[in-house]
Structure 1
Amino acid sequence: MKEWVGSAAICINENNEILMVRGIDTEKWAIPSGGIEEGETPEQCCVREVKEETGYPVKIIEELFVKEITIKGFDVKTHYFMVKKIGESEGIKDPDKTIEASRWISSSELMKIYHLYPEDLELLLSIINKGSFPNLDNRY
Structure 2
Amino acid sequence: MNKWYGAAGVCMNEQGQLLMVLQGKREEEKSWSVPSGGMEKGETLEDCCIREVYEETGYRCEIKQMLRVKEGGFEESAFQVTYYEIEVTAGSPTIHDPDGLIHAISWHSADMIRELQLSFEEDRSFLLEYISKKI
| TM surpasses 0.5 | yes
Q: Partner residue of 1:13?
A: 13
Q: Any idea what the Cα deviations from partners look like across 1:3-59, whole Å, max 9, x if unmatched?
A: 110101101111110011111442311111001001000000000000000111110
State the match for 1:120 in structure 2.
Answer: 123
Quote the residue 1:136 is aligned against. none
Partners of 1:15 and 1:69 in 2: CA distance: 33
> Counterparts of 2:133 and 2:53 in 1: how far apart (Å)?
23
Structure 2 counterpart of 1:49, from 37, 49, 52: 52
Deviation at 1:97, TM superposition (A): 1.0
* Residue identity opposite 2:55 in structure 1: E
Gapped regions of structure 2 (runs ≥ 5)? none
Give the whole-Å Cα distance in 1 for the aligned partners of 2:61 and 2:74: 28
- CA shift at 1:88, angstroms? 3.2
CA gap of 1:15–1:88, structure 2 versus 1, over 3 A, is farther
Who is 1:22 aligned against?
A: 22
The match for 2:79 among 53, 56, 76 is 76
Partners of 1:50 and 1:72 lie apart in 2 by 29
Q: What TM-score do the two structures reach when normalised by structure 1? A: 0.88
Asked if structure 1 preserves the Cα contact closer than 8 Å seen for 2:36 and 2:49, the reply is yes
1:111 is paired with a residue of what secondary structure? Answer: helix
Runs of 4+ in 1 over 2 A off after TM superposition: 24-27, 71-74
The CA deviation at 1:89 is 1.5
CA distance in 1, matches of 2:113, 2:45: 26
Gaps of 5+ in 1: 133-140
